[in-house]
Chain A
Amino acid sequence: MNDAARETPAEPTVSLAEEYAASGVGPVLKQLDDELVGLKPVKTRIREIAALLLVDRVRQKFGLTSEAPTLHMSFTGNPGAGKTTVATRMAQILHKLGYVRRGHLVAVTRDDLVGQYIGHTAPKTKEVLKKAMGGVLFIDEAYYLYRQENERDYGQESIEILLQVMENNRDDLVVILAGYADKMDRFFRSNPGFRSRVAHHIDFPDYTDADLLAIGEKMLAGLNYTLSNSARRALMDYIPLRRTQPLFANARSIRNALDRARLRQANRLFTQGDQAITLEQLTTIEEADIRASRVFGLPPGA
C-alpha cells in the first residue's frame, strides 16, 4: 500500500453501485445478455473484465496503483459457436468499458498479415497493426499463421512481430485469436510465446437444442419473420436431427436451414396462385416450410 492510501482519514468509502451507474457498463452488459443466447463462459468473462474496471476506478480514488490488465484473448470452439460474432461485439464492449481508445475492429486472416516474398511480411503486418491501434485486432483462423511443415514459411516472421507488439503496446490494442479448438491447441503448443501472452482463453461451448431454437427465432425476428406454433414444433424436431448429421455447424446450420425455409415459404406463396396476400402470410413461416427439409427423410447419422 502506498502513502496516499495510508493517510486517508476516517476510512472513507466509495459506493460501487454509484460507480457502476456512472460508468455506463450496465446497459452494455444487458445488451450482451439480450442479444446473445447461451455462451455462459463468454458472458462470465466479460462480466469479470467489467468488474475489474470498476474496482480499478475505485482503487484509483484511494490512490492505489492500477495497471491495465492484459486483454489479449483466444476464442476456441466448434464451427458456428459465435466466435466471430462475439469478437465484433468485443470491440464495442471494450471501448465502452474504457479499455481501448477507439473501439474499431480490424478483422484479418493470414493473407493480410503474411507476405509472398522475403521482406514483404514485416511491412504488411506492421501496416495492419498500425490500423488496429486503439482498437481490436481480430485474427480469424489464427492457426494458419504457423505452418509446421514448412520451416521457411513467412508466417513465423509475422508471429514474431505480433508477439512483440502484443507485449509492448498492451495499452494500445487488444488482439483476439480465433479458431477451431483442436487446431488452436496445436498452434499454441508450437508457439508457447503466444499462449503465455494471451491472458484469456475462452472456449465457446456448443449450443443446446433450446439455445439453437432461441437463436433461430432471434434471427427470424431480425428479418421480420415469425414461426407459427406448428413450425416451432417442427424446428424443435429438426434441431436434434440436424445435430446427428455430418458437418453440423451450430448456429450457422440453423441460419442456413432458416434461409432455405424462407426460400420454400416464398415459393409456396408464389405457387399458390393469384390471391391477395396478407401481411401475416408474408411474415409467417409454416410447418410445411420446415418439414420439407431433407433431414426429416434420412435415417439418423446418414
Chain B
Amino acid sequence: MRITQGCFSFLPDLTDDDILTQIQYCLDNGWAVNLEFTDDPHPHNTYWDMWGLPMFDLHDAKGVLMELDACRKIHGDKYIRLSAFDSSHGWESVRISFIVNRPKTEEGFRLERVSGPGRTQRYAVRGYGLDKPEGKRYA
C-alpha cells in the first residue's frame, strides 16, 4: 500500500530533478530544509529521525541533494522525507513536507480489532512492517 503523506504523494515519485526544483523553491523563500527518515510510517508517528541538522544558509539546492544522497546510501530502505521550515514571524512552522524516498515494497497497515470491557470493540491501525525488529522492517 502506497503511503500518501505530505505534498505530491498522489503523484508518481519525484525524480531528482523535480526534488531539486522544489528545494530551490524552498531556499529562494529562505526556508531551512530538513531531512528525516523512519521505518514506521504510521500517520500518527510525526517525529521522524533527523538526518543531520536543519540546513541553514544554503544558496543552491545541490547542497541538499548531496545530503539526501548520503542519507539514501544508509537509509535507502526506509521512508525519507524532506521538509522546509519557515522561521519568519507569524509562520514559524513547516511550510512544505514531502516524501523523497520509499522502501522497495511498502507493506501497508492492517486493522486490528480489540475487545474492550463489556464487549466493546476498539480498532487499531498497525503497520505490517512493525512485526519485524527495527532495522529489518523493509530490508
Contacts and interface: CB of A to CB of B under 8 A. Distances in A.
Contacts of A82: none
A88 to B, nearest CB: 16
Contacts of B62: 133-134, 169, 172
A193 to B, nearest CB: 20
Interface stretch (B7-15, B36-44, B52-60, B107-115): B52-60
Interface size class of A (residues with CB under 8 A): 10 to 19
A135 B59 contact: yes
B66 interface: yes
Interface of A: 101-102, 104, 126, 129-131, 133-135, 169, 172
What 6 A-B pairs are tightest by C-beta distance, nearest first?
A: A134-B60, A130-B63, A133-B63, A133-B60, A133-B62, A102-B59
Contacts of A134: 59-63
Instruction: Identify whether the interface residues of A are mostly helix, strand, loop, or mixed.
Output: loop
Nearest to B66: A130
Interface residues of B, number: 11
B67 interface: yes
Interface of B: 55, 57-64, 66-67
25 contacts: A101-B60, A102-B60, A126-B66, A129-B63, A129-B66, A130-B58, A130-B63, A130-B66, A130-B67, A131-B57, A131-B59, A131-B63, A133-B58, A133-B59, A133-B60, A133-B61, A133-B62, A133-B63, A134-B59, A134-B60, A134-B63, A135-B59, A169-B62, A172-B60, A172-B62
Which of A129, A133, A135, A172 is the most central at the interface, judged by chain B CB atoms within 10 Å of its CB? A133
Contacts of B59: 102, 104, 131, 133-135
B19 to A, nearest CB: 15
A172 B61 CA distance: 10
A172 B66 CA distance: 11
A168 to B, nearest CB: 9
A130 B58 CA distance: 7
Nearest to A134: B60
A102 B64 CA distance: 15
Contacts of A104: 59
A102 B62 CA distance: 11
Contact of A135 (B55, B60, B66): B60
Contacts of A101: 60
Contacts of A133: 58-63, 66
Contacts of B57: 131
A104 B58 CA distance: 10
